[in-house]
Every structure is written in structure tokens, then in C-alpha cells.
């Protein structure tokens, strides 16, 4: 398996883990927070899904375009994310579309032998565009951990938490 094939497979597995978490959430759990000013589960999910379009807007606007609503703009005049006001239980589509756009952007950059755009000089994965996929996996994992902690704190039983941990089987296939 080539490095890119392995990374692609890992990226797809990450998507499956996100789906497993989304499917396991109860409607009342979207409002869970740490009670000390931290984000709610819904806000974390929105941030996770929005991460893709935010970076793609910087890296490859052509690939960000399907994720945007060109009829609505933010204060800077940039188009808003299509899922800007979606209820949290509809964010699965945002994850799916964002993942596909990220894969397409990475594959296009690699096929053309070019780096991503870096208009704000933030360091746009200069060594290899595929690092964007790795960053997304790590970013999602970090935030899934936050959500798991909120679910535990919010009253999920040890048995329910164990059931949520079954997503690890996806990584061991």
C-alpha cells in the first residue's frame, strides 16, 4: 500500500468514526457543555465540520466552492458555509461533503505537482498537500475526545461509554 493509499484509507476510516459518533448522539446531548464556558457538543461538531471548508477556502477555493452558499456572505463579503445554520443532527452531510472536497483538493494538488495556495502565509502544508488529510484526522480525534468527555460528564453510563468505544474496531480492521 502506498503512503497516499494508506492515508486515504485512514481518512475514510476517520469519516466512519465521525459517522458512528454522530449516529450515537441523543438530541439532548447536543447542548452538553462543561458548564465553564466551553463549547457544547453541537458547537464542537460544527467546528469540526467547518474546519474543512475553512482550510479549503484558504488552500483551494475551487474545492471549497461546493461547500459554500454563494447567495449569503459574511462581514468580509466571503460566502457562508452551506451548513452555517443547520441543526446539529444534519451535520453528517457537511462532514461527507467536506471530506470529499478535501480529498479532491489534495489529489488535484498532487496530480499537478503543486503546493496549495497560501494567501495568508499560514503554512499551507508546504511539504506535501496530503498533510491536510492527516491534520484533519488529528483535529477530528482531538475534538471527538472532548465530546466523549462531555458525554461521560453528561450522564452516559459506563456501559454506554463502552459501546461508544466500539468505534476503535474501525481502526483495527
Report the CATH number that the domain containing residue 8 is assigned in CATH.
Answer: 1.20.120.450
User: What's the structural domain count of the chain?
Assistant: 1
Average pLDDT (17-32) is: 96
- Helix ranges restricted to H, 25-119: 41-59, 61-64, 91-111
**How far apart are the C-alpha atoms of 93 and 64, rounded to whole Å?**
15
139 is in an annotated binding site: yes
pLDDT given at position 120: 79
Residue 73 belongs to domain spanning: 4-171
| Partners of 68 in the β-ladder | 81
pTM recorded for the entire structure: 0.93
**Which residues in 142-173 are b (16+ Cβ under 10 Å) and which e?**
ebbebbbebbeebebeeeeeeebeebeeeeee
pLDDT given at position 1: 43
143 is in an annotated binding site: yes
**How far apart are the C-alpha atoms of 146 and 124, rounded to whole Å?**
26
Amino acid at each position: 500500500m502506498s503512503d497516499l493509499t494508506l492515508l486515504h484509507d485512514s481518512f475514510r476510516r476517520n469519516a466512519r468514526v465521525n459517522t458512528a459518533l454522530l449516529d450515537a448522539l441523543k438530541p439532548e446531548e447536543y447542548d452538553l457543555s462543561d458548564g465553564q464556558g466551553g463549547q457544547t457538543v453541537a458547537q464542537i461538531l460544527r467546528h469540526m465540520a467547518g474546519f474543512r471548508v475553512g482550510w479549503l477556502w484558504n488552500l483551494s477555493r475551487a474545492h471549497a466552492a461546493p461547500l459554500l452558499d454563494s447567495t449569503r456572505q459574511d462581514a468580509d463579503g466571503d460566502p457562508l458555509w452551506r451548513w452555517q445554520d443547520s441543526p446539529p443532527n444534519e451535520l453528517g452531510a457537511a462532514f461527507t461533503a467536506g471530506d470529499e472536497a478535501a480529498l479532491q483538493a489534495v489529489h488535484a494538488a498532487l496530480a499537478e505537482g503543486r503546493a496549495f495556495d497560501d494567501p495568508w502565509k499560514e503554512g499551507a502544508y508546504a511539504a506535501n498537500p496530503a498533510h491536510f488529510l492527516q491534520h484533519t484526522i488529528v483535529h477530528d480525534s482531538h475534538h471527538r475526545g472532548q465530546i466523549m468527555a462531555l458525554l461521560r460528564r453528561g450522564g452516559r453510563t459506563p456501559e454506554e461509554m463502552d459501546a461508544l468505544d466500539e468505534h476503535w474496531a474501525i481502526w483495527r480492521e
